[in-house]
Structure 1
Amino acid sequence: MDGGIMVAVEPWSTDRLEDGIGNPTVRIAYASSATLCTPGSPAQPGGFGLGTQGGPAERLDLLAEAGFSEVTPAADTGFNLVVAGVK
């Protein structure tokens, strides 16, 4: 459907593991992602398998490839990353 705005709230992450070392949520987020998200992702349509805590750059690229324009990180709380795009 065209003519709408998509907003997604994702767990906070960085494009490089070492950039998140000072964030206290990183340990639990990476453990959860390695246990649930990484093995489950290939079973989903598209099977993108972004890896443990896929960073914002990869997420924004996927949205652009899916046909969204003006793809941008709308908010970064340090716990969640909010991304938005127009279709």
Structure 2
Amino acid sequence: MFKIVHGVDTLDREDLITMASSNYLRGHPKKILKDSCTSDIKYSFPYRSIDAWNKLSVDVVCAASVSQMKDKLDKCGQRDRT
């Protein structure tokens, strides 16, 4: 999700996620809207990972690189080791 939000990956972000407007949010400025869904898209990776992404701290989300994000996840104990 980090690579998609920060534009590191070659995927077209607008096809996968919708960024939330930052004028009414608490937490980090890169929150993602979770649209209501009745089809099988609710089982896809981007849709399933939105809640976890939105719960991350601003330090983790605004890291400069993937490796820094992983280090910050390790330090705050939020990294899933599965």
Q: TM-score, normalised by structure 2?
A: 0.31
Q: TM-score, normalised by structure 1?
A: 0.30
From the two aligned structures, give the one with the greater strand fraction.
Answer: 1
